[in-house]
Amino acid sequence: MPLPRPRTPLADLTESRRGRPARRAAAALGLAAATTLSGLAAPLAPAGAAADGPIGPVFSNGMAQPVFSSNRADWIREEVWIEVPVDSDGDGRNDRVHAEVTRLRETETAGLKSPVVYEVSPYYAGGNPVTNHNVDHELHQARRPGKGWLNRGGKTTDPAKDERLAAATADEAAADEMAAAGTGPQPIISTSHEANWLPRGFAVVHAESLGSGRSDGCPTTGGRNETLGAKAVVDWLNGRARAYDAAGREVNPTWTTGKVGMIGTSYNGTLPNAVASTGVEGLEAIVPISAISNWYDYYRANGAVVAPGGYQGEDADVLAEYVYTRSDKQICRSLIERLAQEQDRVTGDYSAFWDERNYMNDVGNVHAAVLVAHGLNDWNVKTKHAAQWYGALKERGVPHKIYLHQGGHGGSPSLDVLNRWFTRYLWGQENGVENDPRALVQREDRRLVEYAEWPDPASAATTLNLAPGANGAAGGLTLGRTRRGRPVTETIVDDASKRAQALADAATSPNRLAYKSGTLTGPVRLSGTPRLSLRMSFGQPAANVTALLVDYDQNGKAKIVTRGWTDPQNRKSISRTEPVKPGTPYRLDLDMQPHDYVFAAGHRIGIVLLSSDYEYTIRPAPGARLRLDTTKSTVTLPFVGGAGTFAAAIAD
């Protein structure tokens, strides 16, 4: 047997952490008795019980109770480097992922075996200031002056203002305090989740994704090596991988049951999707929050180069550079350069590069119970990621639940919801969570409403027609056919400097087409994915096409509910660019981002069509002309109650 590879001394790593207050633990439940893992009645010990307390978990109301010590001084903290069966940095040795274990002292003194709540992240060591790609250029003429990742020509992303980093590294105040006190491994990776889960008998593991922090290997923005790096931790916890401490001694996790639940937000939530898609044994549950299910859909849409909201000009190479925080700053440079070429910002086509980063391909391997959480107004990781992942899991009979809230990026379910999920699938308690309503949706008034499933089973595709306007004013959006016979066309003149909100609000504009329903006499709820089928021609060989679903209030003020984009050169396939012949009409089918939204009585439902979208698409010079044939274009909206509900709501 070969000896463990000796590690060089670990240099101190400067971390960019956001100090955040620790998440508030749930109040102790005032119950007289509870259930132990053996099923016997036992007194419910108070939260904060020390090592002389119970040696097994206690359950009440289907949830693990905080009966173990909440004092961090009573916990064991250790760090390991876990071997990964990949050499992504090309140094001739397998990569290793740096991880930190926090577990109860009872796992050492009383034979307690704990399941694991596990989070892996490329963000724990902060991020690098990075320059995004320039987006102000003609379509299919993306320029990247200079060599290397410098001189991209776009705006700079500052880690201190990055919502992804903030969402992924919340609850780090305790880590900063412990680092300052010099207790435990230095620097501490993270303390998130510990206050919630250790007192309930779980262990917590944090790991740094390959290429970040004190892991080696390279970041690849969703590449296979990152999946294997995150998966290796689950393998180690189940005896299938080796881990070593800083001195090179092998470390075995004899303290765990091997049952693992992954959780995280943003990139930290994406990696659970990735690991679950491998079908790895021991991963029993995941909670992906604001998570990516297909990296193509993060940086592209129907063949168009489309940015994540708030990160205009970012792409896979930029994000890889951003999270490349390991100490060796040279070893991964050529790999990141290769990402820049293979991601293809010129055509926006789906390719082998993106196919490697599409977890939907392997959703059939998932056996872990999945609790999806997503903000309905998340324009960073858009709602399509949650909807398509959840839909595929539902179709395959994987245990599933979805939580949708009114916020943007981030937003976890409550501790009680998480506790029931992890208690059921990590502790094996039959608490009936699989019989609960599948969907928990926060409504516009902030009430949480349970639905049997999502999208609502009562939603039905409702096809609406477009009636042309006049002199740039809005036309109609109706159930009835608006005109038969010869084409009726309207024109959009592209101007990428005009923002979507301003165009939706404008009473008239040559830079958009708008269509509005009659005034609603009652509420109409949308649940699912809006779709458009458009007949369009173009005055030039390339153009963006953007669609907005809009809620107009009683004063005509527009609220953009959701939107979608497409490249007409990808009208037949997202994998193949085909020329557009100016003046020739083409059929374009595009989906908008899924949503669950109630249009209130007194409001009007609107569709707005424009070309370039300032906040998301490439921004060519103004002047391109697009023509829409309203007689051969439709919008299909998933209304709860279908066409009947819509018709009743607009009846005079």
Q: Which own/partner pairs from 37-43 qualify as long-range (CB within 8 Å, at least 24 positions apart)?
A: 37/427
537 is catalytic: no
C-alpha to C-alpha distance for 204 and 187, rounded to whole angstroms: 17
- What digits encode the pLDDT tens for the residues 339-368? 999 999 999 999 999 999 999 999 999 999
What secondary structure does DSSP assign to 302-315, as a single string? TTEEBPPTT-TT--
Q: What is the pLDDT of residues 71-90, one digit of tens each?
A: 999 999 999 999 999 999 99
Helix segments in 147-293, DSSP class H: 163-168, 173-181, 194-197, 224-237, 267-276
Residues 409, 527, 551, 611: which is the catalytic one?
A: 409
Q: 607, 626, 475, 476: which is closest to 536 by C-alpha?
A: 626
306 falls in which pLDDT band (50, 70, 90)? very high
Is 409 tagged catalytic? yes
Query: Can you give the pLDDT at residue 470?
Result: 87
Matching residue, tokens 């003046």: 583
- Sheet strands side by side (includes 33-36): 41-43, 33-36, 58-60, 63-64
Set 378, 596, 613, 629: catalytic member: 378
pLDDT value, residue 10: 29
Q: For the residues 102-109, what does the mean pLDDT come to?
A: 98
Give the per-residue pLDDT at 187: 64
Pairing of the two strands 400-405 and 439-442: parallel
Q: Are 637 and 529 in contact (CB under 8 A)?
A: no
Q: Are 133 and 243 in contact (CB under 8 A)?
A: no
Q: How far apart (Å, rounded) are the C-alpha atoms in residues 205 and 192?
A: 10
Q: Which of 209, 266, 517, 611 is catalytic?
A: 266
pLDDT band at 3 (very low <50, low <70, confident <90, very high): very low
Instruction: Return the percentage of the chain with pLDDT > 90, whole number.
Output: 82
Q: Amino acid letter at 383? A: T
Instruction: Tell me if residue 275 falls in helix, strand or coil.
Output: helix
| Mean of pLDDT over the chain | 89
The predicted pLDDT at position 139 comes to 94
Domains defined along the chain, listed by start: 46-451 (3.40.50.1820), 459-649 (2.60.120.260)
Residue 179 pLDDT: 45
Count CA within 13 A, CB hemisphere, residue 21. Answer: 3
In this prediction the pTM is 0.89
pLDDT for residue 144 = 41
Active site annotation includes 266: yes
The 10s digit of each residue's pLDDT in 228-241 is 999 999 999 999 99
pLDDT at residue 294 above 50? yes
3 state DSSP class of 434: helix
